[in-house]
């Protein structure tokens, strides 16, 4: 398998190649969060983490629609006070 090479920027950022983004269905995933795990001395793995909305979506019967947005507004309001 031909693995694309990426470059670490001066800000310690890497760009996920287009083919990988497409295969992982990242689309316009700005803000998508990942866990980073060290596998070996020369290997790391990025794992997508679920958003609050994805977790709440698993419990549609228990949470109202847009529960994630409501929780974020409540959190932000606490910081504004």
Which structural domain range is residue 78 located in?
50-81
Are residues 28 and 12 located together in one domain of the fold? yes
* pTM above threshold 0.75: no
What is residue 29's predicted lDDT score, i.e. its pLDDT?
A: 66
The residue ranking higher by pLDDT, 37 or 63, is 37
Total Cβ atoms within 10 A of residue 20: 14
Taking 80 as the threshold, does the pLDDT of residue 22 lie above it?
yes
Do 34 and 70 lie in a common domain? no
Residues 36 and 65 in one domain: no
More confident residue, 4 or 12: 12
**Structure-model confidence comparison of residues 64 and 8, the more confident one:** 8
Say yes or no: 17 and 43 in one domain. yes
* pLDDT at residue 81 tops 60: no
d(CA 76, CA 43): 38
- The total of structural domains in the chain comes to 2
Residues 38, 54, single domain; the answer is no
| Same domain? 56 vs 45 | no
- What are phi and psi for residue 14, nearest 5 degrees? -125, 150
Q: 24 with 44, same domain? A: yes
């Amino acid at each position: 398998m031909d693995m694309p090479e990426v470059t670490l920027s001066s800000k310690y950022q890497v760009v996920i190649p287009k083919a990988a983004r497409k295969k992982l269905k990242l689309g316009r995933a700005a803000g998508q969060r990942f866990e980073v795990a060290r596998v070996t001395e020369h290997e790391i793995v990025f794992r997508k983490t679920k958003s609050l909305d994805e977790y709440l979506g698993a419990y549609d019967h228990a949470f109202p629609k847009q529960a994630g947005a409501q929780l974020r507004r409540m959190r932000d309001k606490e910081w504004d006070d």
